[in-house]
């Protein structure tokens, strides 16, 4: 039996990553294209896949907010977003029409959680959470093989957080909530306070401990809500050397041994590295 | 066909509520017995059911922490608890042996969420969260008909919370975490600060606004994590007149319209009133 061919799309705010694969061990080709205007970007996506023969299924791991309700006429559309031009953009429709194959859509972070639960750091776990800390903070989860969704997908970056003792003056940068987690600990929130990214700060700069402290608060809240077997921290900010270790230590101290999952086991980096998004699209497509 | 007969147990830290039912509209008999020592209490439970003929199934909605993993030898046992004598107590085993019928176990709050999703305020919703605010704070959830569980059941009372501007001096009463949600907003945390329960405070006392503010922070965090269609607030503290309305208003202000679910629709009181626990046991039993 011929192996199926899947079209993979990791749709981000600054770039789209596309891929063709037969399976997780057989990603044939990938490309990055910049995210410009919706028509232009989606046109480029269709053109790239169109030149590569028929697809059996497409997996779309998208930035949010994106409509995931199949019963909605806006299914697969980007919802209200501050990103210019993208509010209401239909991502899934043009793909389904152009390639006459099933299209599966979920958030980039739900897809990453799914890929990690199948092939990465979350294998064998009933519940896996993937938290990305970068330009924004987003979270996805898989529970018994299903990605998490309520009325909409999770917006874990917007959970509430206590304030660090030495960080009372900063108002936070979230345009909706000011000092939610994303407002306090995303990449731009670091730069707004310290003028540099976390990895650019000199060793011993207090900002490193402060940001680790916020992420540990988030880790404890995630544990209290979901008790995941793995809480995977991805995203650009987490590339900072030593950061995940500090988050782990602080979460262990803060949790006080109360939760079943011990931070030493639970809090990890992605097993699939930067590939969790694109392989998430593969998992969505059924590959 | 004769209707099945279900044995219902709502196992709490101060009392057990027992019931016999054919279904949600046919609860035949109920009784409350005090929670004393495990042997004595479980003995009284077995005696009461034993005098009422055969049971087709038993649903046990228990206080936590309780082992929910069927594959564990401790399934249906109370885990480490500060409640004297109850650590390691086997609740489910004696019932299964005495009545030779299936026993289903979950937390009281997961069970309440299940009952509310089937017959109460959460009907028709993909995701329902039940948060009880009383002697402690606990939360359960149902997603697509399944109660929420990771490595263990949720411990939503122990999520992190910001501090209210006018409440910086109080250290919080959680023995594990100090100023987690339960440490700041449970019934005992109210009494520790103000010397009275919330409903005993005079109208206009600042404590009412402060506690509502904490519960609204929790509501927003729950929305960001799970986007439930209903977030149901039960428990003794929530009996305070006007409290749920204040939580709703504050959560709407705080959420800034960001989440799909609007607090006016999402944040509600239990549709089943005080019966959500016992009917939760019925739902667990399959009734």
- Strands B57-62, A146-147: pairing is unpaired
Among A160, A177, A252, the strongest candidate for a mutation testing the B interface, having the largest count of B CBs within 10 A, is A160
Mean pLDDT of B251-270: 96
Residues A149 and A265 in one domain: yes
CB atoms within 10 A of CB B50: 12
C-alpha span between A267 and A188 (Å, rounded) = 23
CATH number of the domain to which A24 belongs: 3.30.420.40
Is A258's CB within 8 Å of B177's CB? yes
Report the 3 state secondary structure along A187-251: HHHHHHHHCCCHHHCCCCCHHHHHHHHHHHHHHHHHHHHHCCCEEEEECHHHHCCCHHHHHHHHH
A1 pLDDT more than 60 = no
> How does pLDDT run across B158-191, given as a tens digit for each residue?
999 999 999 999 999 999 999 999 999 999 999 9
Choosing from B40, B74, B107, the residue where a domain stops is B107
Residues A257 and A138 in one domain: yes
Domain assignment of residue B281, yes or no: no
Residues A131 and A216 in one domain: yes
Residue A123 CB partners (closer than 8 Å, separation 6+): A117, A271
Q: In chain B, what percentage of residues exceed pLDDT 70?
A: 100
Residues B203 and B80 in one domain: no
Is B151's CB within 8 Å of A127's CB? yes
Domains in chain B: how many in total?
Answer: 2
User: Which among A144, A150, A260 is the nearest to B226, CB-wise?
Assistant: A150
Domain assignment of residue A223, yes or no: yes
Domain assignment of residue A67, yes or no: yes
Residues A127 and A253 in one domain: yes
Q: B33 forms bridges with which residues in the sheet?
A: B16
User: CB of A105 within 8 A of CB of A93?
Assistant: no
Domain assignment of residue A280, yes or no: no
Residues of A in contact with B126 (CB under 8 A): 149-151
Dihedral angle over CA of B159, B125, A80, B246, nearest 10: -50
Choosing from A50, A83, A107, the residue where a domain stops is A107
Query: Could you tell me how many CB contacts below 8 A there are between chain A and chain B?
Result: 152
3-state secondary structure of A15: strand
Domain assignment of residue A78, yes or no: yes
Residues A78 and A142 in one domain: no
Residues of B in contact with A139 (CB under 8 A): 225
Query: What's residue A82's pLDDT?
Result: 83
Choosing from B107, B139, B171, the residue where a domain stops is B107
Query: What's residue A252's pLDDT?
Result: 98
Residues B158 and B226 in one domain: yes
Is B127's CB within 8 Å of A143's CB? no
CB atoms within 10 A of CB A255: 23
Query: What's residue A256's pLDDT?
Result: 94
Residue B276 CB partners (closer than 8 Å, separation 6+): B112, B115, B116, B120, B130, B232, B234, B270
What's the angle, vertex CA A24, arms to CA A18 and CA A28, rounded to 5? 50
Query: What's residue A215's pLDDT?
Result: 98
Question: What's the domain range around A28?
Answer: 6-107
Domain assignment of residue B115, yes or no: no
User: Which among B127, B160, B220 is the nearest to A150, CB-wise?
Assistant: B127
ipTM over 0.90: yes
Alpha-helix runs per DSSP H in B32-107: 38-50, 92-99
C-alpha span between B174 and B287 (Å, rounded) = 36
Question: Residues B142, B143, B148, B154: is their CA dihedral positive or negative?
Answer: negative
Domain assignment of residue A143, yes or no: yes
Residues A80 and A134 in one domain: no
Q: B154: distance to nearest CA of chain A, Å?
A: 5
CB atoms within 10 A of CB A253: 13
Query: What's residue B20's pLDDT?
Result: 98
Q: How confident is residue A2, by pLDDT bands cut at 50, 70 and 90? A: confident
Task: Take residue B136 and report the two structure tokens written for it.
Answer: 């402690």
> How does pLDDT run across B55-98, given as a tens digit for each residue?
999 999 999 999 999 999 999 999 988 889 999 999 999 999 99
C-alpha span between B131 and B276 (Å, rounded) = 12
Q: B253: distance to nearest CA of chain A, Å?
A: 9
Domain assignment of residue A32, yes or no: yes
pTM score: 0.97
Residues A94 and A130 in one domain: no
> How does pLDDT run across A237-263, given as a tens digit for each residue?
999 999 999 999 999 999 999 999 999
Is B258's CB within 8 Å of A226's CB? no
The average confidence (pLDDT) of chain B is 97
A199 pLDDT more than 80 = yes
Is A220's CB within 8 Å of B155's CB? no
Residues A130 and A96 in one domain: no
Instruction: Report residue B257 CA to chain centroid gap.
Output: 28
Mean pLDDT of A97-109: 97
> How does pLDDT run across A39-96, given as a tens digit for each residue?
999 999 999 999 998 999 999 999 999 999 999 999 999 998 888 999 999 999 999 9
B53 pLDDT more than 90 = no
Residues A220 and A136 in one domain: yes
Residues B265 and B173 in one domain: yes
């Amino acid at each position: 039996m011929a192996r199926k061919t899947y079209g993979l799309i990791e749709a981000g705010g600054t770039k789209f990553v596309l891929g063709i694969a037969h399976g997780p061990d057989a990603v044939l080709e990938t490309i990055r294209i910049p995210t410009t205007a919706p028509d232009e970007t989606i046109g480029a996506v269709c053109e790239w896949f169109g030149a590569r023969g028929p697809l059996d299924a497409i997996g779309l791991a998208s930035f949010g907010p994106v409509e995931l309700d199949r019963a909605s006429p806006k299914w697969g559309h980007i919802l209200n977003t501050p990103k210019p031009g993208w509010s209401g953009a239909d991502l899934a429709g043009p793909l389904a029409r152009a390639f006459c194959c099933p299209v599966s859509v979920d958030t980039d972070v739900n897809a990453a959680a799914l890929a990690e639960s199948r092939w990465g750091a979350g294998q064998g776990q009933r519940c896996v959470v993937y938290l990305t800390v970068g330009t924004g903070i987003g979270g996805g989860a898989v529970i018994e093989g299903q990605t998490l969704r309520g009325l909409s997908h999770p917006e874990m970056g917007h959970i509430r957080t206590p304030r660090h003792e030495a960080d009372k003056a900063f108002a936070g940068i979230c345009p909706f909530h000011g000092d939610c987690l994303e407002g306090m600990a995303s990449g731009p929130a670091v730069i707004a306070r310290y003028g540099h990214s976390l990895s650019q700060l000199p060793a011993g700069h207090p900002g490193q401990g402060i940001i680790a402290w916020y992420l540990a608060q988030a880790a404890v809240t995630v544990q209290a809500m979901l008790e995941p077997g793995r809480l995977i921290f991805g995203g650009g900010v987490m590339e900072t050397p030593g950061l995940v270790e500090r988050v782990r230590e602080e979460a262990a101290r803060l949790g006080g041994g109360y939760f079943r999952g011990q931070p030493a086991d639970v809090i990890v980096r992605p097993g699939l590295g930067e590939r969790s998004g694109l392989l998430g699209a593969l998992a969505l497509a059924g590959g």
